[in-house]
Amino acid sequence: MLNQSVPDFELASTGGTSFQLSQHLGKPLVIYFYPKDSTPGCTTEGQHFRDLYPQFAAASATVLGVSRDSLKSHENFKAKLNLPFELLSDPEEVVCNLFGVMKMKNMYGKQVRGVERSTFVIGADGTLKQEWRGVKVDGHAQQVLDFIKSL
C-alpha cells in the first residue's frame, strides 16, 4: 500500500464533526490506531502525541487517533488527557479494515480480535508515505515526528 492513494473515508469525530479524508489533503496526516480509550498503553501513546503536537503542527501535520470506541468514550478520553487533536470513532471497523489493523491477539491466554497499534502517514497528495505496525509506545510519537520532518 506504500506510495498508493488511500481511498476516501469518513468517520464521526470528537468535537461534534465528521472527518472526511478528501477534505484534509494538502498537508501531511498522521493517523494512529489504538486498541482502547483509557487503557495504560493507549493513554501513554495519546500523551506522547499530545506533548509533541506543537511540533507536528509546526510541520503542518494533522494528527488523528482512531479506535473502535464510541464518541462519548472518545470525548471523555480526549478531555481527561487534554488532547489537542481529534479522535475518530470506528465501531464498524470500516477504516480499521481499510488499513488492515484488525488482528487476533492473545489477552490473558485467550484469543481476542482487536486493533493492532499502528500508525500511518498520508502525504499531502493523499498517498500512503509510511506505516508502522505492532507499535511499541515508547519513542514512537518521536519517530513519527522525525519522519514528518523528513518529508
How many CB atoms are closer than 10 A to CB 19? 23
- Return the pLDDT at 132: 98
Residue 78 lies in a domain: yes
Residue 5 lies in a domain: no
Number of domains in the chain: 1
* Three cell numbers, residue 58: 509546526
pLDDT digits (tens, 9 = 90+) for 45-58: 999 999 999 999 99
Residue type, 15: G
Residue 73 lies in a domain: yes
pTM, 2 dp = 0.97
* Three cell numbers, residue 75: 470525548
Q: Are strands 102-107 and 86-89 parallel, antiparallel or unpaired?
A: unpaired
Q: Are strands 86-89 and 128-133 parallel, antiparallel or unpaired?
A: unpaired
Residue 1 lies in a domain: no
Active-site residue numbers? 42
Q: Tell me the residue range of the domain where 62 lies.
A: 10-150
Residue 3 lies in a domain: no
Give me the CATH number covering residue 87.
3.40.30.10
Residue 4 lies in a domain: no
- Please, what is the angle between helix 40-58 and helix 71-81, to 10°? 70
